[in-house]
């Protein structure tokens, strides 16, 4: 008689190798609290099994200072690991956050307007703003919209008229 024995092994854990996602830097007004930052919720990671995993992120505050002016901070997002995925190397997503300085403000919207034959056209999706002071029919003015309800956005006094 012959005896055979089998051992069933679970799939081996897989190790994260690198971050595939990259994020554009973000700019915020002074006074923007850490929890108000528009940080990405997920990132794509490559693993040792050749697959890519989209994982939730938990962002670390690091040395971020909401009231700093004209400073850039690098924040790290740690992936939330599902069962069977390891992160021994501490691979994490990174993003730059710039706190704007005095005199800088993020426009909530912008456009430009023409007079003359294009006076009724909408240029709200244009990538550039055109300004031109010329004869009638060739005038162009740029318009900006700002959220004036945000504290510390404008480091100077102003009034609306």
- Report the distance separating Cα 24 and Cα 3, nearest Å: 62
Supply φ then ψ for residue 19, to 5 degrees. Answer: -90, 130
Of residues 11 and 114, which shows the higher confidence score?
114
Q: Which residue has the higher pLDDT, 133 or 146?
A: 133
Task: Please determine, for residue 6, whether its predicted confidence score (pLDDT) is greater than 80.
Answer: no
- In this model, does residue 153 exceed pLDDT 80? no
pLDDT at 121: 77
pLDDT of 151 higher than 70: no
**Which residues make Cβ contacts (< 8 Å) with residue 56, sequence separation at least 6?**
41, 42, 79, 80
Q: Is the pLDDT of residue 100 over 80?
A: yes
Alpha helices in 103-148 (DSSP H): none
Beta-carbon count within 10 A of 26 CB:
16
* Residue 161 clears pLDDT 50, i.e. is over it: no
Answer yes or no: are the C-beta atoms of 14 and 85 closer than 8 Å. Answer: yes
Q: What are phi and psi of 146, to 5 degrees?
A: -125, 150
What is the DSSP secondary structure assignment for residue 88, as one 8-state letter?
A: T
**pLDDT higher for 155 or 13?**
13
pLDDT digits (tens, 9 = 90+) for 27-65: 998 889 999 999 999 999 999 999 999 999 999 999 999
Asked if residue 132 lies in contact with residue 115, where contact means CB atoms within 8 angstroms, the answer is no
pLDDT-above-70 percentage for the chain: 74
Which string of b and e fits 99-126 if b means at least 16 CB within 10 Å? bbeeebbeeeeeebbbeeeeeeeebeee
């Amino acid at each position: 008689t012959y005896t055979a024995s089998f051992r069933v092994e679970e799939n081996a854990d897989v190790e994260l190798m690198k971050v595939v996602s990259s994020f554009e830097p973000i700019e915020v007004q002074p006074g923007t609290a850490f929890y108000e930052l528009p940080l990405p919720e997920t990132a794509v990671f490559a693993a040792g099994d050749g697959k890519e995993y989209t994982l939730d992120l938990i962002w670390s505050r690091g040395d971020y200072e909401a009231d700093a002016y004209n400073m850039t901070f690098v924040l790290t997002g740690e992936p939330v690991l599902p069962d069977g995925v390891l992160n021994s190397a501490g691979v994490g997503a990174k993003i730059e956050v710039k706190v704007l300085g005095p005199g800088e403000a993020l426009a909530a919207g912008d456009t430009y307007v023409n007079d003359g034959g294009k006076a009724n056209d909408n240029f709200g999706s244009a990538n550039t703003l055109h300004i031109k002071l010329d004869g009638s029919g060739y005038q162009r003015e740029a318009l900006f919209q700002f959220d004036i309800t945000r504290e510390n956005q404008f480091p100077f006094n102003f009034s609306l008229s």
